[in-house]
Amino acid sequence: MTTVKICGLTRPEDVEASVELGAALVGFNFVPTSPRCVSLDRARELAAAAPPWALRVGVFANESRDAIARAIQETPLDLVQLHRAVTEDDAAWCPLPIIAAVSAEGGTEDAPPREVLARLCAVLWDSSAGRGALGDWSAVATRRALPVRQFLAGGLHPDNVGEAIRSLRPDGVDVASGVESAPGVKDRALLARFFAAVREADRGSS
């Protein structure tokens, strides 16, 4: 199945529901301006609710190295997702694999340089910058082969994720607001519909 990351989790019960339905990655937002931002204490609760096989992703933007390192140590986390330009220096100092969030509308021209890509875990094509706006993935549709996994994000929900998968064949999809009843509050029915749509799209492409 296409890998699914459920992001912006703020409640342990939503972490449990997400992984029960099939999420391989669960995301905790540490960006202060986000309505889904969680404290270190809450992040620890969320991480504890995830089974060992689910990867815990810390989402950051312009936070300092010290802040990121503290979150890695105290949560704990398995991956770091950066919503800013990722440099070779980032790849060198960060102790965890990095997912680089990149604007989808710029296409592969906005992707990190090859020397950085080779050291990343994945590229997340997202034109919404965490706002949940529908992304324009047309520039990514003809993307060149990249040496990392590629995820899609930006305005995905149960009614459009299948078409996104069929059109672009990403390695994974990332959703937050598209499966919520309120910011940070996941809706189990929407989660179930989202995973069902992903499975249906995968069956159609097999």
Q: Is the pLDDT of residue 99 over 60?
A: yes
- Which of 48-52, 88-92, 144-148, 162-166 is the most confident on average? 48-52
Active site residue 7: yes
Tens digit of pLDDT for each residue in 125-143? 886 655 555 556 666 655 5
- Residue of 14, 78, 90, 126 marked active site: 126
Of the residues 7, 90, 121, 174, only one is catalytic, namely 7
Render pLDDT for 73-94 as a digit per residue (tens, 0 to 9): 999 999 999 999 999 999 999 9
CA torsion, points 4, 15, 53, 80, in degrees to nearest 10?
70
Q: List, in order, residues 6 or more apart from 197 with CB less than 8 Å away.
A: 158, 159, 161, 162
**Is it true that the peptide bond before 76 is cis, omega within 30 degrees of 0?**
yes
Partner residues linked to 79 by β-bridges = 57
Contact in structure between 1 and 198 (CB atoms under 8 Å): yes
- The domains found in the chain, sorted by start residue, are 3-205 (3.20.20.70)
Average pLDDT, the chain: 90
Sign of CA dihedral 199, 14, 179, 138: negative
pTM (predicted TM-score)? 0.92
Please confirm, yes or no, whether 202 is among the known catalytic residues. no
Exposed, middle or buried by CB within 10 Å (0-12, 13-18, 19+), for 53? exposed
